[in-house]
Structure 1
Amino acid sequence: MTIRCTVESAFFIAWSCLEQSGELGPPDESANVILDAIEAQLRTGERRQLMLANRAIDAYRAHAALHRSSWDRAARFG
C-alpha cells in the first residue's frame, strides 16, 4: 500500500469516527489537525493505518479540548 493510500485510509477512519461521535468542529481546522497528526507520525516511521488513525483521533480530541469554547462562541455569534 502506498503512503498516499495509507494517509487517505487513516484520515477517513479518524474523520468518520469523530463525525459519528459528533465531535468534529469546523471542517477546515478539523482536517488540518487530523492531517498534521498523521504527518507527524509518518515522520517517525509509523505506517499502520489504524495506529495513525487512533493517534490522530487522540490528537484531535486534545486539540478540541483546548479550543471547544472558541468554537462554541463562533457558532453562536456567527
Structure 2
Amino acid sequence: MTDSELREQSFEIAWNVLERSGDLGDPLAAAHFLLGTIDRMMRKGERRRLLLSNAAIDAYRLRYEPLVLAS
C-alpha cells in the first residue's frame, strides 16, 4: 500500500466513524484536523491504518468535545 492510499484509507475510516457517531462538526475544519493528525503520525513512521485512524478520532474528540453546561 502506498502512503497516499494509507492516508486516504485512514482518513476515510476516521471520517466515517465521526460522521456516524454524530461527532463530526464543521466538515472543512474536521478534514484539516484529521489529515493533519494522520500526516504527523505518518511523518514519524507510523504505517498501521487502524492506529492512524483511531488516533485521529481520539484527538478530534478531545479537541472538539462539546461543552456541557450544568444548569
Query: Do the two structures share a fold, i.e. TM-score over 0.5?
Result: yes
Relative to the length of structure 2, the TM-score reads: 0.90
2:9 equivalent to 1:3: no
For 1:11, give the aligned amino acid: F
> How far apart are 1:63 and its partner, in Å?
1.2
State the distance in 2 between where 1:4 and 1:35 align: 11
Aligned residues: CA RMSD: 0.9
- Gap regions ≥5 residues in structure 2: none
Relative to the length of structure 1, the TM-score reads: 0.82
State the distance in 1 between where 2:50 and 2:42 align: 13
- Gap regions ≥5 residues in structure 1: 70-78
Deviation per CA, 1:6-54, whole angstroms, max 9, x where unpaired? 0000000000000000000000000011001101101110011101000
Match of 2:25 in 1: 25
Q: Alignment identity in percent?
A: 46
Structure 1 residue runs of 4+, over 6 Å off? none
Match of 1:50 in 2: 50
- Provide the secondary structure at the position in 2 that maps to 1:45: coil
- Provide the secondary structure at the position in 2 that maps to 1:55: helix
- Provide the secondary structure at the position in 2 that maps to 1:7: helix
For 2:42, give the aligned amino acid: L
Match of 2:64 in 1: 64
Q: Figure out how many residues of one structure are paired with residues of the other and give that number.
A: 67
